[in-house]
Amino acid sequence: WFDNSGYSVYHACGSFHTEESRKAENTAHFRSFFLDLDCGLQKANKGKGFIDKAAACNALKDFCKKLNLPKPTIIDSGGGFHIYWTLQDDIEADEWLSVASKLKQLTKFHKFAADDARTADRASLLRPVGATNLKYSETRQVKALHVADDLSFTAFKAKIKAAESAMMSFGATSKIPTLTQLDQNLLGMAPQPETPKNIKQVLDALNYVPSNCSYEVWRDCVWALLSSGWNCAAELATNWSRQSAQHWKYGDGEKALQNLLNGFDPEKTVMLGTLFYHAFENGYTKGPNDQVDMSPVSYNKEIE
């Protein structure tokens, strides 16, 4: 009736203790984990969505493959997709939030542009199948494209935990980085000591990343190097950047690196794990966490 009367219709993603409020603190149980994928040029340009639905589908397939997640239920919301991993039983809201927060961090680590405001929000509302999306000049129907089988919470939680462990082995933080962590990186608090073995391992990984990569990959790799706090970090970044005229046009020597620092968004802080991630994407096969040397050295004297 509401839909036929021209109202926008939504459903709550969780159940509630009382009918008085749908605020997060009143949520009682959940029976799915979900993602909201927005599509369109404006969203894509802001890094908050995908250029079109085909790009969103391809990215979803890639994300599920990396995390070893089963194919989810896929709902065409009219302007994008709602993704659900539905569960066999209800789970407590606090238990849901713990896993949903890890899923959210994994989307960030793998640069999967799901809507940050939804993934771990207990008060989330999404459009139900059969509703009409009224945001467009030509209204669009919300449709189910694929309905997957329900999962056991234990199995889904185990997959997220395994993916989180892999992420942590790449040097990523277990929580979304804060400004304090960014300040610590800038002050030179290295996550790994500056040793010949560690430097060589980073250089080996960096050599697998093409220097003429996209601006975003170049920016992330340069920042990952600088975030180490190593005395040689700027030189490593400079020498690698010099191999590509495409990126060196942003400034000469230290100026190019300074331009990256000045334009960096603290909410998108990356660390050395991001560099290893891009290296793995280009064929690097060694582990990034085999770093045991403890004696600081000079890059110029010991490596060259």
The predicted-structure confidence for 127-174, as pLDDT tens digits, reads as follows: 888 888 877 777 888 999 999 999 999 999 999 999 888 877 655 443
**Residue 297 belongs to some domain of the structure:** yes
Please report, for the domain that includes residue 93, its CATH number.
3.30.70.1790
* Res 23 pLDDT > 80: yes
Asked which of 23-32, 148-157, 188-197, 248-257 is least confident by mean pLDDT, the reply is 248-257
**Residue 141 belongs to some domain of the structure:** yes
**Residue 143 belongs to some domain of the structure:** yes
Assigned token pair, 277: 């991630």
The reply to whether 220 and 183 lie within a common domain is: yes
pLDDT at 260: 67
The reply to whether 142 and 31 lie within a common domain is: yes
* Res 187 pLDDT > 70: no
**Residue 6 belongs to some domain of the structure:** no
* Res 32 pLDDT > 70: yes
* Res 89 pLDDT > 60: yes
Domain span at residue 37? 11-169
The reply to whether 197 and 76 lie within a common domain is: no
| pLDDT band with cut points at 50, 70 and 90 for residue 269 | low
pLDDT at 182: 32
The reply to whether 214 and 183 lie within a common domain is: yes
**Residue 188 belongs to some domain of the structure:** yes
* Res 285 pLDDT > 80: no
The reply to whether 184 and 271 lie within a common domain is: yes
Last residue of a domain, one of 116, 147, 169: 169
pLDDT at 211: 87
Last residue of a domain, one of 113, 148, 169: 169
* Res 295 pLDDT > 70: no
What percentage of the chain exceeds 70 in pLDDT? 75
CA distances from 21 to 24, 126, 151, 234, 245 (A): 9, 17, 29, 52, 57
The reply to whether 16 and 151 lie within a common domain is: yes
What percentage of the chain exceeds 90 in pLDDT? 33
The reply to whether 194 and 140 lie within a common domain is: no
Nearest residue to 60 via CA among 89, 31, 39, 43: 39
pLDDT at 154: 96
| Number of domains, the chain | 2
| pLDDT band with cut points at 50, 70 and 90 for residue 231 | confident
* Res 266 pLDDT > 50: no
pLDDT at 249: 56
Give me the mean pLDDT over the 112-126 stretch.
91
**Residue 3 belongs to some domain of the structure:** no
The reply to whether 123 and 234 lie within a common domain is: no
* Res 289 pLDDT > 60: no
Last residue of a domain, one of 136, 169, 202: 169
The reply to whether 205 and 161 lie within a common domain is: no
The reply to whether 88 and 189 lie within a common domain is: no
Asked which of 109-113, 196-200, 215-219, 245-249 is least confident by mean pLDDT, the reply is 245-249
pTM exceeding the 0.85 threshold for the entire prediction:
no
| pLDDT band with cut points at 50, 70 and 90 for residue 110 | confident
Question: Distance between alpha carbon 89 and the CA centroid of its chain, in Å?
Answer: 28
In whole angstroms, give the CA distance from residue 3 to residue 287. 53
The reply to whether 204 and 71 lie within a common domain is: no
Averaged confidence pLDDT in the chain: 78
The reply to whether 98 and 239 lie within a common domain is: no
**Residue 84 belongs to some domain of the structure:** yes
**Residue 5 belongs to some domain of the structure:** no
